[in-house]
């Protein structure tokens, strides 16, 4: 564990300069701060809240110069004190490092730094000089004593710019940047920022679970910025440019045909992997078990949340870029991993998702019985058979859906749209513990889904080989378990039944086994997902990578796409260098995450309260009968107003290292 010799963070000063190393208190936040990468110690760390020095020999002025050089480069230039002030500070620090300045310069730098901090309108300017001011105010004598030493060699330094919303996003989309472009009316540029990370901007703009909004600092003022709806806005508004852009795209460095990559699965993970490989110039073939692309985004997520035409357009980018998709090709049935290697693919990416439903483990449960459908299979039939091909479905009058996640909500809300009169949703815990999105629960309630919280199935009632009902029992919250979550215990003699001929367990999915054989050399974990090295996503077989739900277990679109991008980077390294490179940005992101517990909450600057844009929705009484998209788009004016709410919480970080 690294120990802080001295530093200042959020106004709190640490000074251990006169202590022996063994006397210095340890902080768990610095557990991982010993080395930046193997054999390369972290000597100092700077950020928007302050700085920490881990080694006595750090040259402070040079370290500050590295930090302020990056700040000056990142200043957007809209606030004069930040634009001009950061340049002046940079120049004066350069002079001091080169021993051309005088102690008087410190006073001038301090005055300018205070002005930048107190007058800047965005998070970058407001935090850009905090570390510098902390050092000048609390450790001035250390800087003054440096001025009488010889000119130092520049120290190796890694700099990194991010914001809480960017850090929270698995794909690290530069959210403030695409919002800045909306503020400026440059919608095409805004879409370009998103497309740097993944091709499914309109899809994510509709169904992303919004880790970014959960981290948005605007929640400390009023409500999170509508990041998702702004993404949908630019993606829909600029959809015309997509085809034009990608048809004209020519990779800078087209790769040899013998470096062809096979991707298995056209879900978000496979699409993102193929996208980044194609952009890097690799020839890519994609093998998909079903007859349609898009994975769970196509076969699971219902049309009323994500119209299939929107998804299809974004998936088609892969073919526009030259990728070939082979449908009805299931690995383990139509071909094997070894076949792909024999056919000459230089590397393989597995993005096969989790498509096998989990049983409820109750009496008389038989997945083969008529009227029993796993949630994902039920949604697949609606999406593919009913909507795409017009095949009618007989569903009866009453349906019972079991589960508390988004898949359960999708099943219940889709069942209503399929004319089921009564849809009961069974969840064993209380409403506040439900994993589904709050908006989804509210929408399901408005549409008339009947919720039974603290209720669990015990038995399926079967007569003449058909489901006739389900027996349920009431549950009570018990003592919290190790994770702090309340346990649930059945309430004796509280059983009751619901008559139904259709039961949908939607309590989770797992990887469908049988896609690899022991000869393939791809190992699974004990919980049935593909085993990978998390740093590179390489499997236990050389040249074979995997990502998305089949690695993480059921997760989200944006997590799958982030893994697809990461695997593409690893495959590129593997094919061009024969090894996978260390990623300094990922390491910086990890260090920033480690420091989160030390960051004080609160917005110090006055911000005008302004609640987020209200998205128009179809009336619940109408929408529950049709599959038309529920959420309506926002207008250009609304997008502009919403974009102004972003506080641009950019922060600059730097790490001084040994080499």
Residues that bind ligand FAD (CB under 6 A): 207-209, 264-270, 287-290, 295-297, 300-301, 330-332, 351-353, 355, 376, 379, 406-407, 410, 515, 548-550, 555-558, 560
Q: Which two tokens stand for residue 338?
A: 């070894």
Give just the sign of the alpha carbon dihedral 534, 540, 546, 550.
Answer: negative
Neighbours of 631 (CB within 10 A): 17
Q: Which is nearer to ligand FAD, 406 or 456 (CB)?
A: 406
φ and ψ at residue 481, rounded to 5 degrees: -85, -170
Candidates 177, 176, 146, 166; CA nearest to 65 is 146
User: CB 514 → ligand FAD: shortest distance, Å?
Assistant: 8
CA separation for the pair 379, 305 (Å, rounded): 13
User: CB 269 → ligand FAD: shortest distance, Å?
Assistant: 3
User: CB 311 → ligand FAD: shortest distance, Å?
Assistant: 11
Q: Which two tokens stand for residue 549?
A: 């739900």
The structure tokens 């059945």 sit at 490
Q: Which is nearer to ligand FAD, 83 or 384 (CB)?
A: 384
User: CB 266 → ligand FAD: shortest distance, Å?
Assistant: 5
Q: Which two tokens stand for residue 96?
A: 């001091």
CA separation for the pair 155, 98 (Å, rounded): 14
User: CB 553 → ligand FAD: shortest distance, Å?
Assistant: 9
Q: Which is nearer to ligand FAD, 241 or 618 (CB)?
A: 618
Q: Which is nearer to ligand FAD, 490 or 528 (CB)?
A: 528
Question: In angstroms, how far is CA 386 from the centroid of its own chain?
Answer: 32
Quote the radius of gyration of the chain (alpha carbons, Å): 28
Q: Which is nearer to ligand FAD, 116 or 224 (CB)?
A: 224
H or E stretch covering 399: strand 398-402
Q: Which is nearer to ligand FAD, 266 or 539 (CB)?
A: 266
Candidates 408, 650, 382; CA nearest to 508 is 408
Q: Which is nearer to ligand FAD, 42 or 169 (CB)?
A: 169
Q: Which is nearer to ligand FAD, 362 or 555 (CB)?
A: 555
Q: Report helix, strand or coil for 627.
A: coil
φ and ψ at residue 88, rounded to 5 degrees: -65, -45
CA dihedral 72, 77, 78, 79 (to 10 degrees): 40
Q: Which is nearer to ligand FAD, 380 or 656 (CB)?
A: 380
Q: Which two tokens stand for residue 411?
A: 């099943």
Which bin fits 287, alpha (ψ -120 to 50), beta or left (φ > 0)? beta
Across the strands, what pairs with 356? 510
Q: Which is nearer to ligand FAD, 290 or 429 (CB)?
A: 290
Q: Report helix, strand or coil for 20.
A: coil
User: CB 410 → ligand FAD: shortest distance, Å?
Assistant: 4
User: CB 210 → ligand FAD: shortest distance, Å?
Assistant: 9
Instruction: Report the interhelical angle of 227-237 vs 239-247 (nearest 10°).
Output: 60
User: CB 438 → ligand FAD: shortest distance, Å?
Assistant: 13
HEC sequence for 397-441: CEEEEECCCHHHHHHHHHHHHCCCCEEEEECCCCHHHCCCCHHHH
Q: Which is nearer to ligand FAD, 284 or 407 (CB)?
A: 407
Q: Report helix, strand or coil for 100.
A: coil
Q: Which is nearer to ligand FAD, 65 or 311 (CB)?
A: 311
φ and ψ at residue 349, rounded to 5 degrees: -115, 130
User: CB 278 → ligand FAD: shortest distance, Å?
Assistant: 16
User: CB 631 → ligand FAD: shortest distance, Å?
Assistant: 12
Across the strands, what pairs with 504? 401
Which bin fits 361, alpha (ψ -120 to 50), beta or left (φ > 0)? left
**27 neighbors 52 (Cβ within 8 angstroms):** no
Task: Return the exposure string of 327-352: e unless at least 16 CB atoms fall within 10 Å of the residue's CB, then b.
Answer: eebbbbeebbbeebbeeebbbbbbbb
Q: Which is nearer to ligand FAD, 157 or 311 (CB)?
A: 311
End-to-end CA distance of the chain: 20
Q: Report helix, strand or coil for 568.
A: helix
User: CB 272 → ligand FAD: shortest distance, Å?
Assistant: 8
User: CB 300 → ligand FAD: shortest distance, Å?
Assistant: 3
Q: Which is nearer to ligand FAD, 280 or 290 (CB)?
A: 290
Across the strands, what pairs with 285? 262, 324
User: CB 207 → ligand FAD: shortest distance, Å?
Assistant: 4
Q: Which is nearer to ligand FAD, 266 or 536 (CB)?
A: 266
CA separation for the pair 442, 334 (Å, rounded): 43
User: CB 554 → ligand FAD: shortest distance, Å?
Assistant: 6
Query: Within 13 Å and on the Cβ side, how many CA atoms surround 251?
Result: 16
User: CB 189 → ligand FAD: shortest distance, Å?
Assistant: 25
Candidates 95, 101, 133, 131; CA nearest to 115 is 133
């Amino acid at each position: 564990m690294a120990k802080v010799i001295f530093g200042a963070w959020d106004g709190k000063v640490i000074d251990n300069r006169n202590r022996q190393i063994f006397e210095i208190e340890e902080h768990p936040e610095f557990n991982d701060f010993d080395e930046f990468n193997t054999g390369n110690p972290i000597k100092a760390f700077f950020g928007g809240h302050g700085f920490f020095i881990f080694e006595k020999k750090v040259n402070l002025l040079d370290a500050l110069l590295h930090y302020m050089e990056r700040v000056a480069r990142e200043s957007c230039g809209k606030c004069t004190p930040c634009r001009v002030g950061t340049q002046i500070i940079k120049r004066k620090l350069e002079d001091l490092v080169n021993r051309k300045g005088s102690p008087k310069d410190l006073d001038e730098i301090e005055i300018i730094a205070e002005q930048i901090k107190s007058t800047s309108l965005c998070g970058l300017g407001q935090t850009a000089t905090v570390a510098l001011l902390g050092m000048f105010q609390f450790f001035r004598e250390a800087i003054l004593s440096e001025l009488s030493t010889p000119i130092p060699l520049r120290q190796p330094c890694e700099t990194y710019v991010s914001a809480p919303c960017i850090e929270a996003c698995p794909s690290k989309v530069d959210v403030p940047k695409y919002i800045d472009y909306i503020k400026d009316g440059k919608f095409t540029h805004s879409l370009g920022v998103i497309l740097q990370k993944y091709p499914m901007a309109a899809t994510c703009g509709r169904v992303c679970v919004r880790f970014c909004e959960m981290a948005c600092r605007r929640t400390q003022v009023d409500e999170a910025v509508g990041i998702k709806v702004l993404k949908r806005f630019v993606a829909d508004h600029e959809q015309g440019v997509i085809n034009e852009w990608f048809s004209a795209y020519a990779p800078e460095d087209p790769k040899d045909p013998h470096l062809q990559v096979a991707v298995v699965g056209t879900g978000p993970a496979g699409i993102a992997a193929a996208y980044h490989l194609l952009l890097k110039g690799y020839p890519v073939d994609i093998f998909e078990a079903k007859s349609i692309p898009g994975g769970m985004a196509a076969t699971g997520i219902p049309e009323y949340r994500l119209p299939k035409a929107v998804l299809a357009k974004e998936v088609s980018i892969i073919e526009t870029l030259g990728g070939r998709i082979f449908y009805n090709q299931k690995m383990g049935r139509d071909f094997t991993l070894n076949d792909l290697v024999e056919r000459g693919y230089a590397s393989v990416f597995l993005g096969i998702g989790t498509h096998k439903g989990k049983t409820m483990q109750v009496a008389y449960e038989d997945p083969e019985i008529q009227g029993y459908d796993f949630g994902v299979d039920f949604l697949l039939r609606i999406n593919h058979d009913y909507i795409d091909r017009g095949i009618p479905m007989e569903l009866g009058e009453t349906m019972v859906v079991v589960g508390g996640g988004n898949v359960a909500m999708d099943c219940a809300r889709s069942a209503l749209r399929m004319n089921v009169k009564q849809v009961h949703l069974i969840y064993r815990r209380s409403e506040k513990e439900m994993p589904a999105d709050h908006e989804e629960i509210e929408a399901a309630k408005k549409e008339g889904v009947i919720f039974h919280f603290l209720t669990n199935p015990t038995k399926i009632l079967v007569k003449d080989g058909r489901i006739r009902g389900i027996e349920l029992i009431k549950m009570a919250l018990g003592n919290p378990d190790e994770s702090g979550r309340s346990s649930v215990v059945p309430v004796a003699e509280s059983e009751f039944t619901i008559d139904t001929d259709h039961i949908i367990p939607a309590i989770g999915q797992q990887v469908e086994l049988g896609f690899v054989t022991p000869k393939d050399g791809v190992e699974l974990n004990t919980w049935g997902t593909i085993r990978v090295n998390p740093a590179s996503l390489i499997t236990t077989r050389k040249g074979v990578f995997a990502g998305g739900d089949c690695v993480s277990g059921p997760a989200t679109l944006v997590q799958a796409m982030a893994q697809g991008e990461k695997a593409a980077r690893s495959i590129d390294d593997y094919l061009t260098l024969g090894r996978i490179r260390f990623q300094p940005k990922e390491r910086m992101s990890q260090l920033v995450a480690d420091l989160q517990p030390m960051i004080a909450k609160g917005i110090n600057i006055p911000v005008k309260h302004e609640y987020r844009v209200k998205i128009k929705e179809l009336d619940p009484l109408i929408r529950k009968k049709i599959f038309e998209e529920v959420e309506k788009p926002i207008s250009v004016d609304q997008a502009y107003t919403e974009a102004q709410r972003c506080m641009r919480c950019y922060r600059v970080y730097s790490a001084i290292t040994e080499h």
